[in-house]
């Protein structure tokens, strides 16, 4: 159970940021992980009155407010159209509708959870994050940082046609994933592959040997899947062993890259 | 702190702690159908509607619901009565513990999608756990309700 002394519905980002400089403060997202994790805090900072629950098209892409629910993201018509339905495919298996109505994009991204489908998907889309104090930084860079006292305001997704294929292995429907994998093929850039739930945080797999440089042929995909299985560190937890996950890296990479050429 | 929530259509003003959960608030105000089944935000038993959106009340602060409307099964008896008999006819209610959350989310499903496919039903109700049944009875019950409604419309 989470216990705290004060609750503040912030009236401005400045107020939220200032309150959050106290080490005992906690910013509330959807409160799902926070509630399950428990512990004590001084002030709970609620961002729900700051208009951050919308997805807007900007000059360069999509600005997804930190308080947008996973359910809203899952059902967003244009983001799904842009990605061949990858948002719906990646997010729908997360627990249940009632959970996804609460869980927020900001909470998911800020948490940088190892098991995060959201992080895996957004990394494949080359997203950026907008932080109140630090400004805009690439999500790939943000994902490697330890949480500090800043406030995540928005996630920015480029508005560029991209083929995307999302794969995840689960022991049971609605459970946390055993492994996640997203492959993206931008119009004028080489393919990107992201592996998550290793069970460590999602990471990009760079094509250091240029295996895919001659195109996504079935042979190149098989070779890259073998390469990815060697290049991606995996670990063991209650859901599966490192060895099994490494096998899944190969299988899901083959499926995800294969999905790009169908 | 003092909050006011529109609970099943009537305003309820009460003094709560900053960390009071909506689950405990509604139970303290006569809505005993809302229960905590899992402690990990994963079972769906504590489902309520917050401004008509189904959410897990175990993970919502009462303070966050201040100024909003909350509906529980106590406030939806007529809408539930339309289909729960069809689920009971399939023997799907065994211990009955999961039933209130299950009924709440079925109401949400049917409001959102009045004519769902079996896969859409499974997918929408996937966050409601039942430890007695294999979910097939509930699915048959909802299907049988939908068929009966279609026949009635003809």
- Total domains present in chain A: 3
Over the stretch A221-240, which tens digit does the pLDDT of each residue have?
A: 999 999 999 999 999 999 99
Is the ipTM here above 0.95?
A: yes
CA distance A208 to A254: 17
Question: Tell me, what CATH number does B127's domain have?
Answer: 1.10.150.120
Task: Provide block-wise average pLDDT over 10 residues at a time, chain A (262 residues).
Answer: 92 98 96 89 96 96 98 97 95 97 98 97 98 98 96 96 95 95 93 97 96 95 98 97 98 97 88
- Number of folded domains that form chain B: 2
Question: Where is the domain boundary, A107, A137, A158?
Answer: A158
Residues A192 and A224 in one domain: yes
Cβ separation B58–A30 shorter than 8 A:
no
The tens digit of pLDDT for each residue in A22-36 reads 999 999 999 999 888
Rounded to a whole number of angstroms, the distance from the CA of B141 to the nearest CA of chain A is 20
Range of the domain at A106: 55-158
User: d(Cα A71, Cα A73) in Å, to the nearest integer?
Assistant: 5
Residues of B with Cβ-Cβ distance to A4 under 8 angstroms? 18-19
| Whole-structure pTM value | 0.96
User: Domain holding A255: CATH number?
Assistant: 3.30.390.50
Q: In this structure, are A62 and A117 located in the same domain?
A: yes
Tell me whether B53 touches chain A (CB under 8 Å).
yes
Note the pLDDT of residue A247.
Answer: 98
Query: How does strand B69-71 pair with strand B2-7?
Result: parallel
């Amino acid at each position: 159970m989470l216990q705290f002394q004060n609750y503040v519905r912030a009236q401005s980002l400045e107020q939220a940021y200032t309150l959050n400089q106290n080490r005992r403060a906690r910013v509330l997202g959807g409160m799902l992980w926070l509630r399950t994790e428990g512990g004590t805090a001084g002030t709970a900072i609620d961002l729900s009155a700051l208009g951050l629950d919308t997805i807007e098209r900007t000059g360069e892409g999509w600005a997804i407010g930190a308080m947008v629910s996973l359910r809203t993201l899952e059902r967003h018509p244009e983001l799904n159209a842009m990605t061949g339905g990858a948002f719906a495919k990646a997010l729908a298996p997360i627990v249940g509708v009632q959970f996804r109505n609460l869980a927020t994009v900001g909470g998911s991204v800020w948490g940088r959870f190892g098991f995060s489908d959201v992080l895996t998907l957004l990394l494949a889309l080359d997203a950026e994050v907008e932080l109140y104090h630090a400004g805009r930084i690439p999500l790939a860079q943000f994902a490697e940082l330890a949480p500090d006292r800043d406030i995540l305001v928005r996630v920015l997704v480029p508005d560029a046609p991209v083929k995307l294929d999302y794969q995840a292995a689960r022991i049971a429907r609605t459970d946390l994933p055993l492994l996640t994998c997203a492959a993206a093929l931008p119009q004028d850039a080489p393919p990107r592959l992201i592996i998550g739930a290793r069970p460590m945080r999602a990471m990009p797999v760079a094509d250091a040997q240029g295996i895919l440089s001659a195109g996504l042929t079935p042979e190149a995909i098989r070779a890259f899947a073998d390469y990815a299985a060697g290049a991606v560190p995996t670990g063991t937890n209650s859901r599966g062993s490192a060895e099994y996950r490494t096998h899944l890296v190969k299988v899901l990479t083959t499926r995800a890259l294969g999905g790009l050429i169908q | 702190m003092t909050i006011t929530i529109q609970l099943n259509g009537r305003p309820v003003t009460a003094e709560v702690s900053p960390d009071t959960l909506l689950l405990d608030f509604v139970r303290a105000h006569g809505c005993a159908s809302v229960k905590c089944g899992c402690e990990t935000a994963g079972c769906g038993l504590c489902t309520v509607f917050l401004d008509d959106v189904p959410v897990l009340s175990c993970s919502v602060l009462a303070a966050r619901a201040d100024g909003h409307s909350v509906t529980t099964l106590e406030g939806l008896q007529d809408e539930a009565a339309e289909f729960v008999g069809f689920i009971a006819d399939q023997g799907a209610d065994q211990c009955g513990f999961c039933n209130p959350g299950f009924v709440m989310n079925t109401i949400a499903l049917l409001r959102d999608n009045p004519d769902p496919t079996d896969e859409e039903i499974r997918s929408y109700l996937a966050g409601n756990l039942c430890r007695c049944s294999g979910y097939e009875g509930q699915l048959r019950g909802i299907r049988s309700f939908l068929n009966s409604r279609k026949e009635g419309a003809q």
